[in-house]
Each structure stands twice: as structure tokens, then as C-alpha cells.
């Protein structure tokens, strides 16, 4: 493991349970994703030195900031971090300029003001230097907070849900600005968010958390399409999670065969699960392709599965379709299709349709009853009969 | 009009503020942010002068500061004068009976500072002293100002404790509140009325000043 960047290992049983391990390389943005109460902000505060954890170690570019065993615990001042708080935490009685200048006290007085003005200009706030925080909009306050956090040339930049307190339009603009700004930053950046889309859009790597535990880390789309467990899949909002039996592996063709509700499905080769074993499998909605009713469709022969439309809900330009495959008591397949496709194919409740489950989208996971979706009472028996 | 009594009252108020305010800022800040064993008891003890009858408080202070007490004896051995019925004794009493009027508004003032703002100050690299001076004190200012005015007004108006501990020695312990009482006893209602009006005006001015400043300062912290 290289010393460069941020390395964090935290463990404690109380008051907030933590069992977290994460790393963030210089210039990389790591998103900590999880539901509220999963310990994201606690980890961020521990990195900043605002909160002391019972056990663990935090290093940054080879320097030990915190080591519970060795009794090392640097103050936030000494760690030199930039922190953008959820509600920005600007000093309410100081102007935008003075807020940024407070973080530049180690510079000579003459340089301080100029550098603060430069930083505010960099976040598009030139001309608003003399405004008090209450005279700025939410988006402008966030920019002041970012300028203030960057002022110290921090070793690490920490962002605690920085977009949660602004409206949607402002948020989209701030995303763009942050993405632009990031190209100039060379320090590790840790972003805490409960918004998966935000993590997918902004981060290089994502770390999924629940109850203070880091469950999986990796590039956002990898984590989303290949969750390590049913729990991660659930946390990321993957709706199509089912059980199946492993039939066979064909390494030469790169295929693993599974049996699901009487269908023989071809999946990407995943030999970690032995033949004959029971597994959980998931497929992102984007990997389910609707067959056209009037003529053959692309990939029609790839895992075709037929069912009856149980629900059809219009969501703006798209339609959310629930497809009942097999007995009614079993969990349905969920897919989202463009509204015009639904209209052209005359899809409505009760229609019988066929879809292809794309081979590369089928991802196998260990069986995990605890995190499976809630089902009707009759369902488990039916599902068992299918095995 | 007993100008000596008015001057004495103003001096007592000024000295009380000078002694009590730094202590109250320290106590208020600790009570606002720290959790410790016996915090509730400490808060109750500090609030006690609010609920005790002034004569009861005055009686205990008289005992605690009297010649037979260690404090009174020490003072006597150094200065050759008794502590009770002196301006210094009155000042100690005044500081004690004003504790809740100073500590509680200051505590509320510090409590009103969002935790994130204090954390932000630490993350900006501010030293403890600068954080206190530049951020905390400025933001707790409405509470500190309330404490200042309440202590001032309460010192001018206090009667029971002053009479018990200080008696009524002109130029030494006879405050304006005592002077008004004595004028009424002497049936000089004109003088009593005039002095009461002066006291009323001073108090009204002080209270208005706080409300005015608080309204200006206490805009929403966004």
C-alpha cells in the first residue's frame, strides 16, 4: 500500500459503532455513500480530527495524524484539512472576504486579502466579497465555504453533503463547478452523500457504508453493477434481486448457467459459486431489454423471459413497468422503458411481453436471506418448490 | 436628590460588572458546551440567588463576610477594617446576587452558536484564543450584552441584600435604592419621587439599549 493519499482505519463499538477502512489517492474523489445514520459524517469528522475514535489509525501522505494505539491525535488545525460543512458553517458576522481570510492567517497580512479575493473569483464570486453570509444565496454560501476550505491549501478536502441544502437547479450548476474545480486539485477529496446519483456523477471511487461498516469500495459503476452482497445491492437501490440455483460453468465460453423459475439463464462466468449451490442474483434495470412485438429485436435470443405486466406507472418521459414472471406470489421484475417505446408496443397492465436479461448484466452474490425483499407469506414455499 | 447615593450605586454597578463579567463568560461558556458530572447541581447553585428571598441571601452573606468568618477575619487583619458594612463587602455581595443575571444570558448566547461554526473555526486553523476572540465572543455578544444590562439594572435596584450586608452608611454603602426607602420613611415624597424617576429612566435607557442592540445583532445565522 502506497503512503501517498489518505488512509483511514477506524474501529469502535460505542457510542457510534464503526468498522471502517478506506483509502483515497491524491487527486481522487472518494464518495462515502450510505443511508442516514450509517456513520458517513462520523468518519469525516474523525478524519478532520473533530471527533476521537476509540481504535484506529489515520495517515495522510505518510504522516500519522491519528493512532489510538500510539496515543497520536493531531488537532484539526495541525492536520490542515479543508472542510465544507453541510450547512456551510460560515462565520455569520464576517463578510465573504473575511470568512476566507480567517483561513489564511499563516500568510502575511498584505498577501491575505489578495489571495482571498483570488479564491473568491475562482469560485465565481468576484464582486460579492463584502456581502455577509445572510446576504448570499444558498449556492453562493456554498461557494464561499469551498473557497474557505481551499484557502489553506489543505492536505485533504472533506465535503459533508455539500449539495443537500440547495435547490435542484443550483445543485446541477454546483456539480459542474465542482467537477471543473477538481481538475485543478491535487489532494484527496472525500465526499459524503446519501445521493447515489451524486456519487456516480462526481466521484472516481465510491465506498458503500451501513451501520458504520464499509461494505464495498470501487469505481461507482462497478459497485453498482457488481455489488458484493445483497445488502450493498439493496443500499444502492437495485430492485431486481432474486434467488437461483447454479447449473454449470462453461469457462471456455465465459458463461455460468443458472436456473430461475424454470428458465435456464446464461450469466457472465462467475466460478466462485459451485455448481448446485443456491445464489442470489441481481440485474440492473438498464440490462433488461424489451422485445418488440411487431418484429424481432436485438439480442432476442439472449435469456428471453416472458411475463404479464402487473403495474405500469408513467414517470415523466419514462414508464416504470412491473413484470410478473411465473406465479403471482413471487417478486416481479422491474424495468424502466421510454414512454414512446411503451406506447408503440401497446404496453399496459395485463399485456404479455417478453424481455431479454442481458448476460453481462446478471451478477451473482452469496445467498443472504436477511436482506432479501419482503414477500407475501405464500411466496417462500413457491420459491422453494422451484429449486 | 441624594447624588452621593446615585454615584455610589453607579460605582457599585460598574465594579460588579468588571468583576463578574469575565467570570460569567468563563462559566457560561463551560456550561453551554461541556458535559460534566454535577453540571445540573452547578447550574442550580448558580441560579439559587434568583429564588432565594434577598433577606435570606443577605443573612448568609452577613455570616460569611462577618468578622467571625475566615474571609472577614482575613480582610480585617489586612486592612484593619471589617468587611461587612464596607463598599468592598457590598461589592462581594453584589457579585454573588448577580451571578444568575450574568451567567444565564451568556450561557444562552454561547449555546446559540452552531457546533458546525465552532468546528469550522478549528478547521480553518484558528488558534484557541483567536477562535474565542474573533468568532465565539462576537457571536455570543447578544447574550453578553443582556448580561451586562441585567447586572447593571439589578445592582441599581437591589435593596434587601444591600441593607443586610451594607447597612446604610452614606458614601460607603448607602445606595440609591436605600436612599429612596429612607426618604419615604422621612415622608419626603418629593425627593423619593424624583430619585425613583431618575432610577426608572436609567433602567429604561439600559433595557432599551439592549433590545435595540439585540435586534440589530440577532439576525438569523444562516
Domain span at A317: 284-357
Residue A98 pLDDT exceeds 70: yes
Domain ranges for chain B, please list them. Answer: 3-217
Residue A327 pLDDT class (50, 70, 90 cuts)? confident
Distance of CA A38 to the CA centre of its chain: 13
Of A48, A89, A141, the CB nearest to B117: A89
Rg (C-alpha) for chain A, rounded Å, is: 25
Query: What pLDDT is attached to residue A299?
Result: 67
pLDDT digits (tens, 9 = 90+) for A334-360: 999 999 999 888 899 999 999 999 999
Q: With pLDDT > 90 as the criterion, what percentage of chain A qualifies?
A: 71
pLDDT digits (tens, 9 = 90+) for A255-299: 999 999 999 999 999 999 999 999 999 999 889 999 887 776 666
Residue A205 pLDDT class (50, 70, 90 cuts)? very high
Cell digits of residue A348? 399496459
**Domain total for chain A?**
3
Domain presence at residue A1: no
Of A82, A85, A133, the CB nearest to B116: A85
Mean pLDDT of B53-73: 91
pLDDT digits (tens, 9 = 90+) for A59-95: 999 999 999 999 999 999 999 999 999 999 999 999 9
Interface membership of B134 toward A (CB under 8 Å): yes
CATH number at residue A213: 3.40.50.300
Name the minimum distance, in Å, from the CA of A37 to any CA of chain B.
18
Name the minimum distance, in Å, from the CA of A50 to any CA of chain B.
7
Query: What pLDDT is attached to residue A185?
Result: 86
Name the minimum distance, in Å, from the CA of A152 to any CA of chain B.
7
Residue A142 pLDDT class (50, 70, 90 cuts)? very high
Q: Are residues A219 and A265 in the same domain?
A: no
Residue B181 pLDDT class (50, 70, 90 cuts)? very high
Q: Are residues A133 and A56 in the same domain?
A: yes
Omega before A15 within 30 of 0, i.e. cis: yes
Q: Are residues A304 and A314 in the same domain?
A: yes
Query: What pLDDT is attached to residue A382?
Result: 40
Query: What pLDDT is attached to residue B222?
Result: 38
Q: Which residues of A touch B122 (CB under 8 A)?
A: 49-50, 75-77
Q: Are residues A260 and A209 in the same domain?
A: no
Query: What pLDDT is attached to residue A30?
Result: 96
Residue A385 pLDDT exceeds 50: no
Q: Which residues contact A228 (CB under 8 A, 6 or more apart)?
A: A215, A216, A365
pLDDT digits (tens, 9 = 90+) for A25-61: 999 999 999 988 889 999 999 999 999 999 999 999 9
Q: Where are the alpha helices (DSSP H) in chain A?
A: 40-48, 76-79, 96-102, 109-122, 138-151, 168-182, 196-202, 220-225, 230-235, 339-344, 379-386
> pTM of the prediction?
0.84
Q: Are residues A45 and A127 in the same domain?
A: yes
Residue B219 pLDDT class (50, 70, 90 cuts)? low
Sheet with A255-260, edge to edge strand ranges: A263-268, A255-260, A241-250, A278-282, A363-365
Q: Are residues A78 and A184 in the same domain?
A: yes
Of B119, B124, B134, the CB nearest to A103: B124
Q: Which residues of B touch A134 (CB under 8 A)?
A: 219-222
CATH number at residue A338: 2.40.50.100
Q: Are residues A365 and A243 in the same domain?
A: yes
Mean pLDDT of A175-187: 87
Classify residue A245 by its DSSP letter: E
Q: Are residues A55 and A196 in the same domain?
A: yes
d(CA B93, CA A10): 53
- Beta-carbon separation of B123 and A50 below 8 A: yes
- Beta-carbon separation of A102 and B127 below 8 A: no
Query: What pLDDT is attached to residue A169?
Result: 87
Residue A320 pLDDT exceeds 50: yes
Q: Are residues A217 and A271 in the same domain?
A: no
Residue B221 pLDDT exceeds 50: no
Q: Are residues A190 and A329 in the same domain?
A: no
Residues paired with residue A78 on neighbouring β-strands, in sequence order: none
Query: What pLDDT is attached to residue B218?
Result: 55
Q: Are residues A213 and A102 in the same domain?
A: yes
Mean pLDDT of A134-141: 93
- Beta-carbon separation of A83 and B139 below 8 A: no
Domain presence at residue A385: no
Query: What pLDDT is attached to residue A171?
Result: 87
Sign of CA dihedral B166, B170, B176, B179: positive
Q: Are residues A111 and A142 in the same domain?
A: yes
Mean pLDDT of B58-83: 90
Query: What pLDDT is attached to residue B138?
Result: 93
Q: Which residues contact A151 (CB under 8 A, 6 or more apart)?
A: A82, A100, A103, A104, A115, A116, A119, B124
Q: Which residues of A touch B220 (CB under 8 A)?
A: 134
Sign of CA dihedral A276, A280, A286, A291: positive
Query: What pLDDT is attached to residue B37?
Result: 93
Residue B169 pLDDT class (50, 70, 90 cuts)? confident
d(CA A137, CA A144): 11
- Model ipTM value: 0.82
Residue A22 pLDDT class (50, 70, 90 cuts)? very high
| Assigned CATH topology for domain B3-217 | MetI-like fold (1.10.3720)
- Beta-carbon separation of B130 and A105 below 8 A: yes
Q: Among A77, A87, A152, which would you mutate to test the B interface (most chain B Cβ atoms within 10 Å of its Cβ)?
A: A77
Consecutive H or E run containing A370: none
Amino acid at each position: 500500500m502506497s503512503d501517498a493519499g489518505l488512509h483511514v482505519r477506524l474501529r469502535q463499538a460505542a457510542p457510534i459503532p464503526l468498522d471502517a477502512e478506506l483509502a483515497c489517492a491524491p487527486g481522487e474523489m472518494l464518495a462515502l455513500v450510505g443511508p442516514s445514520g450509517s456513520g458517513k459524517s462520523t468518519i469525516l469528522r474523525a478524519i478532520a480530527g473533530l471527533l476521537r475514535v476509540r481504535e484506529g489509525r489515520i495517515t495522510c501522505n505518510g504522516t500519522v495524524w491519528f493512532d489510538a494505539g500510539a496515543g497520536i491525535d493531531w488537532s484539526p488545525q495541525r492536520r490542515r484539512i479543508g472542510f465544507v460543512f453541510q450547512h456551510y458553517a460560515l462565520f455569520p458576522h464576517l463578510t465573504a472576504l473575511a470568512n476566507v481570510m480567517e483561513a489564511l492567517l499563516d500568510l502575511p497580512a498584505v498577501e491575505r486579502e489578495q489571495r482571498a479575493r483570488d479564491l473568491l473569483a475562482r469560485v465565481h464570486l468576484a464582486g460579492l466579497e463584502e456581502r455577509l453570509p445572510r446576504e448570499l444565496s444558498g449556492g453562493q454560501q456554498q461557494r464561499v465555504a469551498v473557497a474557505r476550505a481551499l484557502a489553506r491549501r489543505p492536505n485533504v478536502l472533506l465535503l459533508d453533503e455539500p449539495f443537500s441544502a440547495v435547490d435542484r437547479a443550483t445543485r446541477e450548476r454546483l456539480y459542474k463547478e465542482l467537477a471543473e474545480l477538481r481538475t485543478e486539485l491535487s489532494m484527496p477529496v472525500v465526499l459524503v452523500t446519501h445521493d447515489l446519483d451524486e456519487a456516480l456523477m462526481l466521484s472516481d471511487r465510491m465506498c458503500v457504508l451501513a451501520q458504520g461498516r464499509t461494505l464495498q469500495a470501487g469505481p461507482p459503476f462497478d459497485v453498482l453493477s457488481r455489488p458484493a452482497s445483497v445488502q450493498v445491492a439493496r443500499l444502492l437501490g437495485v430492485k431486481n434481486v432474486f434467488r437461483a440455483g447454479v447449473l454449470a460453468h462453461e469457462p471456455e465460453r465465459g458463461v455460468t448457467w443458472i436456473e430461475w423459475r424454470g428458465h435456464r439463464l446464461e450469466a457472465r462466468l462467475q466460478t466462485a459459486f459451485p455448481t448446485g449451490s443456491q445464489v442470489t442474483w441481481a440485474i440492473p434495470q438498464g440490462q433488461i431489454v424489451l422485445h418488440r412485438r411487431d418484429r424481432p429485436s436485438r439480442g432476442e435470443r439472449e435469456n428471453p423471459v416472458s411475463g404479464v405486466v402487473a403495474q405500469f406507472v408513467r414517470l415523466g418521459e419514462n414508464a416504470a413497468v412491473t413484470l410478473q414472471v411465473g406465479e403471482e406470489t413471487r417478486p416481479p421484475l422491474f424495468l424502466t422503458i421510454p414512454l414512446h417505446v411503451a406506447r408503440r408496443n401497446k404496453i399496459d397492465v395485463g399485456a404479455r411481453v417478453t424481455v431479454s436479461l442481458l448476460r453481462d448484466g446478471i451478477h451473482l452474490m452469496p445467498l443472504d436471506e436477511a436482506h432479501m425483499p419482503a414477500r407475501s407469506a405464500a411466496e417462500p414455499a413457491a420459491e422453494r418448490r422451484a429449486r | 436628590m441624594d447624588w452621593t447615593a446615585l454615584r455610589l450605586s453607579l460605582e457599585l454597578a460598574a465594579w460588579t460588572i468588571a468583576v463578574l463579567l469575565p467570570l460569567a463568560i468563563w462559566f457560561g461558556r463551560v456550561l453551554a458546551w461541556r458535559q460534566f458530572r454535577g453540571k445540573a447541581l452547578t447550574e442550580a447553585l448558580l441560579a439559587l440567588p434568583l429564588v432565594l428571598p434577598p433577606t435570606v441571601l443577605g443573612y448568609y452573606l452577613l455570616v460569611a463576610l462577618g468578622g467571625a468568618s475566615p474571609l472577614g477575619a482575613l480582610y480585617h487583619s489586612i486592612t484593619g477594617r471589617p468587611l461587612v458594612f464596607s463598599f468592598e463587602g457590598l461589592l462581594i455581595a453584589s457579585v454573588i446576587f448577580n451571578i444568575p443575571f450574568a451567567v444565564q444570558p451568556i450561557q444562552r448566547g454561547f449555546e446559540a452558536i452552531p457546533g458546525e461554526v465552532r468546528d469550522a473555526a478549528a478547521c480553518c486553523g484558528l488558534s484557541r484564543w483567536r477562535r474565542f476572540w474573533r468568532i465565539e465572543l462576537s457571536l455570543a455578544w447578544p447574550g453578553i450584552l443582556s448580561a451586562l444590562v441585567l447586572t447593571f439594572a439589578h445592582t441599581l435596584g437591589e435593596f434587601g441584600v444591600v441593607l443586610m450586608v451594607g447597612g446604610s452608611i452614606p458614601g460607603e454603602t448607602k445606595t440609591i435604592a436605600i436612599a429612596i426607602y429612607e426618604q419615604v420613611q422621612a415622608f419626603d415624597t418629593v425627593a423619593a419621587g424624583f430619585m425613583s424617576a431618575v432610577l426608572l429612566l436609567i433602567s429604561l435607557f439600559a433595557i432599551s439599549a439592549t433590545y435595540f442592540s439585540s435586534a440589530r445583532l440577532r439576525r438569523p445565522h444562516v
